[in-house]
Amino acid sequence: MSDSPPLKSFSLTGNSGSAMTVEQLEKHLKTLAKLEETVAPVISCYLTVSDAAAEHHFILEDRLCSLRSTFSGKQRQAFQQAAGKIREFMRAGVATQTHGVAVFSRGGDCPFFLPLQFQVPLPNTITADFTPKIYSLVELRDTYDRYVILLMKQGIGAIIMIDLGAPTEQIWTTRDEHRQQADGQLIRQLERLISHGKYDHLMLVGDLPTITNARAALPPHLASKVVDVIAACPTDPVPDVIHATLRPFLKHRDFDSEVVTRTLVNKIATQGSAVTGTCSSFRAVKGGRAELLVLLESYDPGLGWECRDCGRIETNVLCPEFCPKCRSTSLRLFETREELVRLATRIHCQVEVVKESEFLWALGGVGCMVRLLSPANSVSRAA
């Protein structure tokens, strides 16, 4: 019979304002991406929540007032209904641990309301359009992603799972009388967790002698997942430990993005299984051939339009009075970046946001890795 102390697991998800997992966010993204248009506008409200409630209240009211003036009649009435739901949520629904909110609200005959809370800040942007603006959520998911912390300190050991910058689950054990058995048990649990493929990055935290020994005891396939080793004092509170891991993880995510960009460029040059530029990327996503959409953080090509009758789509051109193909006047304007990530989300295409890349900038700021690319389109220049 083993003398190893029992592992104690604590889930930190599921309640209002609690940490959100990547899977939960992806589910919400799909809901938003598939939301059908109506004549009523959707308010997409992103706010950083600070201790000074008056600050984000002022930003909210100032922007809602400006947006309200752009609608009239029944659309204004629907806008007011949607804005009222947001005000109510911001007044009474925000949890104490929340640092950023994304609220999507629509009034009218087909009302919709989705408030999301995060423990990391979000940009202060509030818009009203006929589809939800999801780019900031996609960027959040790509930036913060998820990782695992192996915490080893005097007397305790823990596995802490981090999703979107916040702990979602913790597994704890004591390391007193049966330290060797406890450490082995914790590493086996970590191995099972990572072998499932859910987590691909590992941070080691603790007093240096202990964590150095723990790293040496890791199997090679676990050691290859280590992003960084961070020293922590026995008295450091767990929230401080988690916060200390965030910056090096985000730096590593930037490196991951560089690798993805180089892979994209290599596929264009050697295999022909990628396209670049706005028009080619849009066609790949719209046609369902895109497997990975890669775009610069600064990528913003402006507006595009789509004919509701024949489906023709154009980007980087002014919207005409009627469709050149079918002569229809039923045209829909859209922000190209938003439409790209919305369509990518609908077809389960992964999105990678790159902070800086001279290669990607030279190729138009956006590209796609695609499947079943025809030889005629194997190399595409930036639009």
Predicted pLDDT of residue 50: 79
CA angle 367, 372, 377 (to 5 degrees): 55
Could you tell me the two tokens for 142?
């790509």
Contact (CB, 8 A) for 132 and 103: no
Please choose, from the candidates 306, 165, 156, the residue with its C-alpha nearest in 3D space to the C-alpha of residue 237. 156
* Residue 55 to residue 52: CA distance in whole angstroms: 6
- Residue 239, class by beta-carbon neighbours within 10 Å (0-12 exposed, 13-18 middle, 19+ buried)? exposed
Predicted pLDDT of residue 376: 45
Predicted pLDDT of residue 270: 76
Could you read off the pLDDT of 72-88 as tens digits, one per residue? Answer: 999 999 999 999 999 99
Could you tell me the two tokens for 372?
């079943």
Could you tell me the two tokens for 293?
């959409």
Query: pTM of the predicted model, to two decimals?
Result: 0.87
Predicted pLDDT of residue 378: 42
Predicted pLDDT of residue 193: 86
Please list the ranges in the chain whose pLDDT falls under 70. Answer: 1-18, 52-53, 175-179, 271, 372-383
Q: The domain 36-130 belongs to what CATH superfamily?
A: eRF1 domain 1 (3.30.960.10)
Judged by DSSP in three states, 326 sits in coil
Predicted pLDDT of residue 166: 92
Domain boundaries, the chain: 8-13+143-236, 36-130, 256-377
- Residue 224, class by beta-carbon neighbours within 10 Å (0-12 exposed, 13-18 middle, 19+ buried)? exposed
Contact (CB, 8 A) for 222 and 194: yes
Contact (CB, 8 A) for 86 and 26: no
Report the topology of domain 256-377: 60s Ribosomal Protein L30; Chain: A; (3.30.1330)
Give the 3-state DSSP-derived string for the chain, with helices as H, strands as E and coil as C: CCCCCCCEEEECCCCCCCCCCHHHHHHHHHHHHCCCCCCCCEEEEEEECCCCHHHHHHHHHHHHHHHHCCCCHHHHHHHHHHHHHHHHHHHHCCCCCCCEEEEEEECCCCCEEEEEEECCCCCCEEEEECCCCCHHHHHHHHHHCEEEEEEEECEEEEEEEEECCEEEEEEEEEECCCHHHHHHHHHHHHHHHHHCCCCCCEEEEECHHHHHHHHHHCCHHHHCCEEEEEECCCCCCHHHHHHHHHHHHHHHHHHHHHHHHHHHHHHHHHHCCEEECHHHHHHHHHCCCEEEEEEECCCCCCEEEEECCCCCEEECCCCCCCCCCCCCCCEEEEEHHHHHHHHHHHCCCEEEEECCCHHHHHCCCEEEEECCCCHHHCCCCCC
Could you tell me the two tokens for 66?
């400006």
Q: The domain 8-13+143-236 belongs to what CATH superfamily?
A: eRF1 domain 2 (3.30.420.60)
